Amino acid sequence: MSLSEVTVPVLIIGGGPVGLSLSIDLGWRGVDCLMVERRDGSVGHPKMNQVGNRTQEFCRRWGLGKKVREHSIPEDFPRNIHFLTSVTGFELGRYEFPARRDVIQPYSPEFMQRCSQIYFDPLLRDAAGEMPNVMQMFNTTLDRFEQDDGSVTAYVIDEKSGEEKIITAKYLVACDGAESEIREQLGIKLVGDHNMSFNVNLFFKSADHDALFNKGRATMQWMFNEEGMWADIVSINGHDLWRLSIMKLPPGSELTKEEAADYLRKAVGRDFDFEILSILPWMRKRVVADQFSVGRIHLAGDAAHQMSPTGGFGMNTGIGEAVDLGWKLAAVLEGWGGEKLLESYDAERRPIAQMIADEGARNYTQFAKLPNGPEINQNTHEGEVFRKQFTKKLYDLEMDREYDTDGIVLGYRYEGSPIIVPDETPEPEFNAMVYTETARPGHRAPHAWFGESEETSTLDLFGRDFILMRFDLSVSVDTLVEAFGIRSVPLTVEDIDQENIFDIYERKLVLVRPDGHVAWRGDNCPSDALVVADIVRGA
């Protein structure tokens, strides 16, 4: 067996969407990194189908927003949600959401995209592969690792050649999925509900729209029988690719293609033309790691949490972690990030992961509150009465909350973060469905169009440096600029002369971090500018 050695600042184990996003963010920042993935980089089964607003804002930053839109479900496809006994059976209710082209989006320059993982992952993989400072090793498995005060050493095996490579890195990020061996070896526990339900996904192909869009086009169609909700069908590309999720099966169930076909016919309500492409069992969970970091090793994505997909939060939460880690790793490696900067990763992201995991579980458990009984599928007076009661309960429970989550996607905040300078303003009430626009420290800096053409968003300013937004040219910024210069923290001053944007940001000076979250704000430079600089850089 031949032996080779590689030295790199950041080693990423796992090449799913979170590992790929981290490698892109680091590469975009000029940080050398190596991503190791045990698979060949292709995606055979679509587990994820939704790129959230915030994730699409990150893709916009990386120059990938247009490509994601091009690989998404057609912009004229309605985002409707149907509740049915079967696709060709009784309709129990529906929520109608406009197609992407018809959406008025006041709070973001980007809109949520229905871009399946079968398109999204390869898009990220290719983008990362084109970056000169990003290395990728596919078909490579982590064998073991160790860390000390100065570095992490990983031993990996090339599955094709059998060659062992020794990789030495300053930092390691575990994006190695739900069964993370790194998490296990570090002794980190997943806390929460490990057995919400056992499910099997069927990825299938069919252009039989008479059957599958029997009640009109929809992105998701939920199926109910006498025992309650038991399946859903998702349109992956708006045409001929679909996913059926069968729920509440006995743990460990394995379906043959013939059994899977029977479930498909049951969900649709009749026979139709289809081809099953793949079958994937999975366990629905609500678990979050009890710590996201140990020494020089950090967890992200499914390695750090697993969520019910009811809400489409899992991958998007992981990519939020990748962006939080990206600028902090870059800052420390460039020498201006303080010793507490990477410690803040756990403090900021673990509460967010817990909140979102709870929300996903809440959306799933709502289904158990709906009435069930044999009348649901009976073509009788009793059946009609039962279905009317079911529909009323459906709307009373506000089952559309799962699909209208601006408060979660855009309104999450790093309350109490050690690298945020609070301004003593009260925290706005959190509402999962309603985003409260605010530039309060800890929150995502709000979007607004500015300039004569109104094609540039305030969000386009953020990413690489700290940005000091100045809304009044008469206010001096000299002490903050000097303080950041003393600490070698990259800072750019952006003067914005638009009253409508000042009305949103509410202070004459607003300091925004590289990840787009507000770090400090005030009407004048602080008297203790060096202290502010040290806090926000994690010193």
Residue ranges per structural domain of the chain: 3-69+113-190+289-361, 415-536
Mean pLDDT, to the nearest integer, of 222-247? 97
Report the 10 Å Cβ neighbour count for 139. 15
Identify the weakest region by mean pLDDT among 314-323, 327-336, 444-453: 444-453
**Identity (one letter) of the amino acid at 319?**
I
Angle ∠(469,475,477) on CA atoms, nearest 5: 60
Per-residue pLDDT for 216 more than 80?
A: yes
Residue 3 — very low, low, confident or very high, per pLDDT cuts 50/70/90? low
Q: Give this prediction's pTM.
A: 0.96
**pLDDT tens profile 264-308:** 999 999 999 999 999 999 999 999 999 999 999 999 999 999 999
**pLDDT tens profile 139-190:** 999 999 999 999 999 999 999 999 999 999 999 999 999 999 999 999 999 9
Query: Which CATH architecture group holds 3-69+113-190+289-361?
Result: 3-Layer(bba) Sandwich (3.50)
pLDDT at residue 390, rounded to an integer? 98
pLDDT at residue 1, rounded to an integer? 36
Query: pLDDT averaged over the chain?
Result: 96
Q: How far apart are CA 318 and CA 324, in angstroms?
A: 10
Identify the weakest region by mean pLDDT among 47-51, 74-78, 401-405, 452-456: 452-456
**pLDDT tens profile 131-141:** 999 999 999 99
Q: How far apart are CA 430 and CA 91, in angstroms?
A: 33
Q: Which of 472, 449, 471 is nearest to 460 (CA)?
A: 449
Helix/strand/coil (H/E/C) assignment for every residue in 445-458:
CCCCEECCCCCEEH
**pLDDT tens profile 64-112:** 999 999 999 999 999 999 999 999 999 999 999 999 999 888 999 999 9
CATH for 415-536 is: 3.40.30.120
Q: Phi then psi for 144, rounded to 5 degrees?
A: -165, 165
Q: What percent of the chain has pLDDT above 70?
A: 99
Q: Is 269 left (phi over 0), alpha (psi -120 to 50) or beta?
A: left
- Contact between 139 and 35 (Cβ < 8 Å): no
